[in-house]
Amino acid sequence: MFLTSQTADRSLWRRTAFWLSTAVLVSALSLFVVGISPARAASSDFKIYEGFKTLARVFYEINVRFVEEPDSTEMVHGAVRGMLNTLDPHSSYMTPEEMSEFQQEATGSFTGVGMELSSRDSVLTVVSPIDDTPASRAGIMSGDQIVSIDEKSTKDMTVMEAVKLIRGPKGTAVTIEVYRPSNKRTLSFPLTRDFIPLRSVRSEELSPGIGYIHISNFQGDTANEVEKAVVKLSSKKPMSGLVLDLRNDPGGLLDQSVKVSGLFVGPVMVVETRGRIDDQNMGYSADDQAILPYQCPIVVLVNEGSASASEIVAGALQDYGRALILGARTFGKGSVQSVVRLPDGSGLRLTTARFYTPSGRAIQSDGIVPDVLVPSLLPTKFKVTREVDLDRHLLGPNEVPKKDDEKSQAQAEDEEGEDDGPLLDKPLYEMSLKERLEVDKQLARALELLQNGRVKSRFTGVVLDSFDPAMG
């Protein structure tokens, strides 16, 4: 029996080693395909092979010795996640189901109840309900803590696990139980799932001639929606000013940030990416002519939640002197993620490059520093989280790794600018313009500057060879 078992073990080991050795070969070949030099690839092949030998041995030991028969698919998924967890916080693995969700959201719609979730202190929390959706119509509010979904406890549940339970076919029912800290009550919301359009652009007129456009994220149709908003705001008479609100915009599609920038600066360089391999080193220029006269002043609002694509837009308009940037220092996510679809339908979201503004500024960690600093309305002692606070984040060009007890410059600015203002009892979009201007100091300051003619566009549409964005 021992000899038979040993022979079977060796056979399994050979099959496993062969399979993983093949993976090593494919990996090595891929290095040549993506542009790494043969000499460099050859020098690292041995280390890669040795690493895979260890991985193969662990895979073998688990398959043979674990007390119950393991799920090999889950083991592979776990191994891939483990590799990505050694990289930066924005690289991740998506199962086929998660990949499908990701692609669906990128198109701008899904079926569900319409609320954005996050995990705060390990508690599943509603960031905000999406306007005019089952969640917002039922009365679910920002800050509500989700206790259960269809009577299933959310204790130790991840955001992705919760999303899978909440989403479903249109017309089906789901019950969300929440705890509301503001009045210490537990509430139950029976909801009917519906088609949820992810509306990324909202617009209105702030005062005669002064328009307002808010971009909540950059998805497939964002540039078209911004163009429609500008046309609508200019339909009665030419605009005398525009507030472009990018606050709490976490980013999205790179091409949409380039197109949106082009609506205001025309066909010029908007952003440059630089990575480890040649095909990641490229510049992105807008294709079309600007749709707003260059002399029309623009104020761009940013804050701690403005990241990635929104930082690209703010950085480009700031570099070219096309807009005044107002608010708080941005998040500082200056990296590009490429999505790689794998044969089984799963995917990798892999950080492949850093991006730079037209003047060559790297946004990573530093973020965009506004021309006019106006602190955000935050609860006293509220801890702001930026890129520099994330574990394993990519260092910025001038960043020195800080000790655990050291504070970043951005954190120091936040503490200096703490606001003792009250917490809002309803979201800004539900307030009248008068109410918003009373509590939203950043918006009020932007409108004041535009009304008083204190914002000037320094961009003429022509970029000279000696153009210095810092000087205009």
Distances from the Cα of 338 to the Cα of 123, 165, 177, 351, 367, angstroms: 30, 27, 37, 6, 21
Closest by Cα among 43, 440, 84, 467 to 248: 440
- Any catalytic annotation for residue 308? yes
Q: What span, in angstroms and rounded, lies between the C-alpha atoms of 222 and 279?
A: 26
Q: Looking at the chain, how many residues does it have?
A: 472
Structure tokens, 443: 């918006």
Q: Do 314 and 368 meet the contact criterion of CB atoms below 8 Å apart?
A: yes
The one catalytic residue in 203, 257, 308, 365 is 308
Counting other chains too, the contacts that 408-415 makes at CB distance below 8 Å and 24 or more residues apart are 410/329, 410/332, 410/367, 410/384, 410/386, 411/384, 411/386, 413/328, 413/329, 413/373, 414/304, 414/328, 414/375, 414/378, 414/384
456 is catalytic: no
Tell me which of 144, 245, 319, 414 is the catalytic residue.
Answer: 319
Cα 36 to Cα 34: distance, rounded to the nearest angstrom? 6
- Hey, which bits of 210-288 come out as E strands? 210-215, 241-245, 269-275, 282-285
**DSSP conformational letter for 387:** G
The one catalytic residue in 333, 376, 408, 414 is 333
For residue 93, give the H/E element and its range. strand 92-94
**CA 366 – CA 381 distance, rounded (Å):** 22
- The residue written with tokens 């056979």 in the block is 11
Quick check: is 228 catalytic? no
Q: Which residues are catalytic?
A: 308, 319, 333
